[in-house]
Chain A
Amino acid sequence: METKHLNELRENIFKCMGCGICRGVWERKDEAMCPVWATCLGFEDSTPRGRVTVAQDILDGVIDYSMPLAESLYRCTDCACCATTCDAMDLATGKPIVDVPKIVVASRMDLVENSLVPPPVRNYLKAVYVNGNPYKLPQEDRGKWAKGTEIPVFSGQDYLFYVGDVGSYDERGQKMARSVATLLIKLGISLGILGSNELSDGNDVRVVGEFGLFQHLAESNISTFKDAGVRKIISLDPHSYNAFKNHYPQFGADFEVFHYTQILDDIIRDSKLFKAKGNSIKLTYHDPCYLGRHNGLYEPPRNILNKIPGLELIEMGRNKKSAFCCGGGGGNFFTDMIGGENNSPNRIRLREALDTEAHILAVACPLCAKMFEDAIKAENLEGRLLIKDISEIVQEAIQG
């Protein structure tokens, strides 16, 4: 079978020393850990090191892509913990010599081109291709989340508020979209939305290896944004943020891209905005992979939370660069290839949050929010820990 994309990474693949540090170690609760490995179900091939070993064999022609291998490859959540942990770093760039997430995406691109994707992935891609979103809901419904609010349509405002698939169609995501948009407007940000003219950003389409569809979505979005006169974009979703910032420029995008927490951090200069609270509430914050590890944005959400009186931010053992993935990345939010049952990544992460004895788990990503709310139900922890996004916390603090 074709191994064109994997072949492009040949040199890096064969430089892997095979040390296995990339797996992470469970008991080192302050160090990054591969969420697939943490589910404890995997064989060696489900570890980052194992994935490189398999890639070497594919390039050497010893083994070929197969459906079981595809299933294994699609369990990866693209969290980039392994890339952070790898000790063989390029002196010049500070980046890992062996970039396992990149290798996984390259393999997935080969799989797509060889038409060898597992059914859940195929169904996801088909939904996006046919319906423009993974929910198979009408395109016209994309802006329905804003109904009943005063969030305007984009017509030249300072910022385009881009919502993404989850924010547009998922109930929890919609709640978060409304909260962020209304808060930003309340705080004086001039923004508008595209509503049903918005297309899927394509980040997860790209990560599951369907580069052609991603290119189509990217070019379409870029064209729409340019036609509308967009110069700056505020993204609800870190996945979209990642796509716009890192992967759209190759198609001619030259917008300034922000995540909403960056804007909030910029506006909220001190605590004057907030009504003082008597008792201190403990909260902890989960770094989304696409905001944190992929794009280095650790401080804006923390800066915001630290300015809110009455809140005590307690870090989880694994935080910032070592934050444990909720399991929603790499397309898994839609395909659920990773599974894991009792040890699914979102449940593992939720337990880490519980260990801090916080009452609130703050999030900055609608996919994380949904993953954790599902985990709360699975762990029977309703009422014990509340999942709130940064904007919801800010809104409540302003109201008192």
Chain B
Amino acid sequence: MTESSRNNHPLYSEIRSIVGPEHVTVDEFSRRAYTRAPFVSMGAGGRGKTPGIAVRPGSTEEIAEIVKLANKSRIPIVPRGGGGSVSPFPPVYIGGDDNILLDTQRLNRINIDTEYMTVTAECGVILSALAETVRKKGFQVHTVDVPIHMDSVGGVLSGFVGGGEPSDVASSGTMNTFLLGLKVVLPTGEIIQTGGGPGTNIHQEKFLHREAGGPDMTGMFIGDGGAFGIKTEATFNIFPQPSIYLPGITDMGGDENMWKAFDELVKTAPYPYTRLLSFREGNGPWYFVHVIRAHSQEEADTKKKILQNICRKNGGKAATVGDQIMQIAGMFSARRLGQQTLPVGSTMTYFGEALVPKPRSLEYLKELNALLDETVGDLDIYKRVDFVVPYLRATTITGILLYFGKGTTRDEASQKMAKTAVKRMEELFTKYGGWTETHQGTSFAHTASAWSPTYKSFMQAIKKTLDPNDILMPGLWRI
């Protein structure tokens, strides 16, 4: 289609009158800019479908109007947050030529209630903005730390385990642990508010507790990949910032020592850490990156002692690390995706990151490494970092970071190897009953194939109930 015929997008005039001319575009380059997701190098399929029109609504009400329009015309909508999904997100793959891409980043208001200790953020807010705004008031909010500068609130709640992998995932679970409620535009255009408080209680203006009264409908929209509704606001509990923050790194040596210490730490009550991550570079030793948060020096010292005792008892020792290791450690515990330096022409991606039952984590990692060697081992991989992160006590997030050298990502052969790797990884996930961060992204088809028939028909029924015209993220999970 030419640009002038693009102006004939069926809903152009109407959308324009809702959001204003400066917030809607049919320019091809503008629309194309939305088709890429990070880390496409890893055989993630490159680019996806170009939307027919890109819109930046400024409020929940504008989104509701657009959704109603879309319903009338049966034109799909694909919502987008920060565009930071490391698993190329469905916007890249789904829908047809007329797709309406909803860029939610103008929904960027944040409101903090320090008395009730809640923060309500519109879903276009980038996580670092949320964390920073809350921090300035002396509080903290449980957010994803890596990558904090990329993801929006709405995006991260729609995706991986419904809330990504916050820095404190080891002790506090995913970002939705402290989610109190959501404002959602349903696929029919109705606006609902979930959670205990204004949505479930006509007498209450404040958010109380997520499950106050009735089933937890908030959960319906967490991890939904955007298919069940467009989240426009999220309210979280916030907590006073602890005054002490003590990062550290311990050399844990080989598999056996590391695992014994890891297991013991995870089973300790209470946790002597807020953050815990285990990684090794190549065939090097395992390192624990740990952070202790405490409200007093005494508390920090006591927790540190417990942590150190457990590590030492299992062969751990103070780490003497060079810049490279510190960079990797920093990357996992720092606020930025990166803090890494790469040789010219190189890139980095996650490989096989999945949630697996804790007892099988190392077994999974071993198989994953073997898979890597078999499928992409011939590519120019100059660094490989294995990592295991506890998710509370029962599960871990385990995977590999791959650093590719020059020229590995654009040629056909490399892409083919990467695609084979992805396919084999999916089989591995199934074997371990694990699933991946890409469950609503590149691996959405695999995710759906893993469901039992009953689960699939249940999801189809939910989809039909909420989205009878199938306009929101059509095709996701093939429901």
Known interface pairs A15-B345, A28-B129, A87-B336; A43-B147 also in contact (CB < 8 Å): no
Q: Are A91 and B38 in contact (CB under 8 A)?
A: no
Q: Are A68 and B29 in contact (CB under 8 A)?
A: yes
Closest 8 CB pairs of A and B: A87-B338, A27-B129, A45-B33, A18-B38, A44-B33, A50-B33, A27-B132, A21-B149
28 CB contacts below 8 A, A to B, read A11-B406, A15-B345, A17-B38, A18-B38, A18-B83, A19-B84, A19-B338, A20-B150, A21-B336, A21-B338, A25-B149, A28-B132, A43-B54, A43-B103, A50-B33, A54-B29, A56-B36, A63-B28, A68-B3, A68-B27, A68-B30, A72-B29, A72-B30, A87-B337, A89-B342, A90-B344, A91-B342, A97-B342
Chain B residue with Cβ nearest A11: B345
Chain B residue with Cβ nearest A69: B29
Known interface pairs A43-B103, A53-B36; A19-B147 also in contact (CB < 8 Å): yes
Bound-state CA distance A11–B405 (Å) is 12
Bound-state CA distance A15–B404 (Å) is 10
Indicate whether B430 reaches chain A with its CB closer than 8 angstroms.
Answer: no
Indicate whether A62 reaches chain B with its CB closer than 8 angstroms.
Answer: yes
Indicate whether B320 reaches chain A with its CB closer than 8 angstroms.
Answer: no
- Chain A residues within 8 Å of B272, by CB: none
Indicate whether B447 reaches chain A with its CB closer than 8 angstroms.
Answer: no
Say how far B422's CB is from chain A's closest CB, in angstroms: 18
Q: What interface size band does chain A fall in?
A: 35 or more
List the interface of chain B (C-beta within 8 A of A): 3, 22-23, 25, 27-30, 32-41, 47, 54, 56, 82-84, 103, 106, 108, 110, 126, 128-130, 132-133, 147, 149-150, 336-348, 406, 409-410
Say how far B48's CB is from chain A's closest CB, in angstroms: 12
Q: Are A91 and B410 in contact (CB under 8 A)?
A: no
- Chain B residues within 8 Å of A45, by CB: 27, 29-30, 32-33
- Chain B residues within 8 Å of A44, by CB: 30, 33-34, 54, 83, 103
Say how far B179's CB is from chain A's closest CB, in angstroms: 20
List the interface of chain A (C-beta within 8 A of B): 11, 14-15, 17-21, 23, 25-29, 40-41, 43-45, 49-50, 53-54, 56-57, 62-63, 66, 68-69, 72, 87-92, 94, 97
- Chain A residues within 8 Å of B410, by CB: 14
Say how far B285's CB is from chain A's closest CB, in angstroms: 23
- Chain A residues within 8 Å of B28, by CB: 63, 66
Count of CB-CB pairs between chains A and B under 8 Å: 134
Say how far A202's CB is from chain B's closest CB, in angstroms: 28
Known interface pairs A43-B54, A44-B103; A92-B344 also in contact (CB < 8 Å): yes
- Chain A residues within 8 Å of B23, by CB: 41
Q: Are B29 and A89 in contact (CB under 8 A)?
A: no
Chain B residue with Cβ nearest A58: B29
Q: Is the interface of A mostly helix, strand, loop or mixed?
A: loop
- Chain B residues within 8 Å of A27, by CB: 110, 128-130, 132-133
Bound-state CA distance A208–B82 (Å) is 29
Q: Are B337 and A19 in contact (CB under 8 A)?
A: yes
Query: Which one, B3, B30, B409, contacts A43 given CB within 8 A?
Result: B30
Known interface pairs A25-B126, A43-B56, A97-B345; A18-B337 also in contact (CB < 8 Å): no
Q: Are A26 and B129 in contact (CB under 8 A)?
A: yes
Query: Which one, B39, B108, B128, B345, contacts A17 given CB within 8 A?
Result: B39
Q: Are B347 and A17 in contact (CB under 8 A)?
A: yes
Bound-state CA distance A18–B36 (Å) is 8
Chain A residue with Cβ nearest B82: A20
- Chain A residues within 8 Å of B36, by CB: 18, 53, 56
Q: Are B339 and A87 in contact (CB under 8 A)?
A: yes
Known interface pairs A44-B54, A88-B342; A25-B128 also in contact (CB < 8 Å): yes
Q: Are A57 and B29 in contact (CB under 8 A)?
A: yes
Bound-state CA distance A250–B132 (Å) is 44
Q: Are A63 and B29 in contact (CB under 8 A)?
A: yes
Chain A residue with Cβ nearest B39: A17
Chain A residue with Cβ nearest B37: A18
- Chain B residues within 8 Å of A20, by CB: 38, 82-84, 149-150
- Chain A residues within 8 Å of B150, by CB: 19-21
- Chain A residues within 8 Å of B130, by CB: 27
Q: Are A19 and B38 in contact (CB under 8 A)?
A: yes
Chain A residue with Cβ nearest B126: A25
Chain B residue with Cβ nearest A24: B149
Q: Are A91 and B343 in contact (CB under 8 A)?
A: yes
Chain A residue with Cβ nearest B55: A43
- Chain B residues within 8 Å of A94, by CB: 341
Q: Are A26 and B108 in contact (CB under 8 A)?
A: yes
Bound-state CA distance A208–B221 (Å) is 46
Say how far B155's CB is from chain A's closest CB, in angstroms: 11
Between B126, B129, B410, the greatest number of chain A beta carbons within 10 A of the residue's beta carbon is seen for B126
Q: Are B83 and A63 in contact (CB under 8 A)?
A: no
- Chain B residues within 8 Å of A43, by CB: 25, 30, 33-34, 54, 56, 103
Q: Are A69 and B347 in contact (CB under 8 A)?
A: no
Chain B residue with Cβ nearest A93: B344
Bound-state CA distance A14–B34 (Å) is 16
Bound-state CA distance A62–B28 (Å) is 10
- Chain A residues within 8 Å of B344, by CB: 90-92, 97
Bound-state CA distance A25–B337 (Å) is 14
Chain A residue with Cβ nearest B26: A68
Say how far A306's CB is from chain B's closest CB, in angstroms: 28
Say how far A373's CB is from chain B's closest CB, in angstroms: 27
- Chain B residues within 8 Å of A23, by CB: 149
Chain A residue with Cβ nearest B136: A27
Bound-state CA distance A392–B22 (Å) is 41
- Chain A residues within 8 Å of B348, by CB: 17
- Chain B residues within 8 Å of A17, by CB: 38-39, 41, 347-348
Say how far A37's CB is from chain B's closest CB, in angstroms: 9
Bound-state CA distance A23–B345 (Å) is 22
- Chain A residues within 8 Å of B29, by CB: 45, 54, 57, 63, 66, 68-69, 72
Say how far B346's CB is from chain A's closest CB, in angstroms: 7
- Chain B residues within 8 Å of A97, by CB: 342, 344-346
- Chain A residues within 8 Å of B40, by CB: 18
Bound-state CA distance A21–B343 (Å) is 19
Q: Are B32 and A28 in contact (CB under 8 A)?
A: no
Say how far B25's CB is from chain A's closest CB, in angstroms: 6
Bound-state CA distance A254–B3 (Å) is 49
- Chain B residues within 8 Å of A88, by CB: 338, 340, 342, 347
Bound-state CA distance A44–B30 (Å) is 7
Say how far B414's CB is from chain A's closest CB, in angstroms: 12
- Chain A residues within 8 Å of B338, by CB: 19, 21, 87-88
Bound-state CA distance A165–B478 (Å) is 61
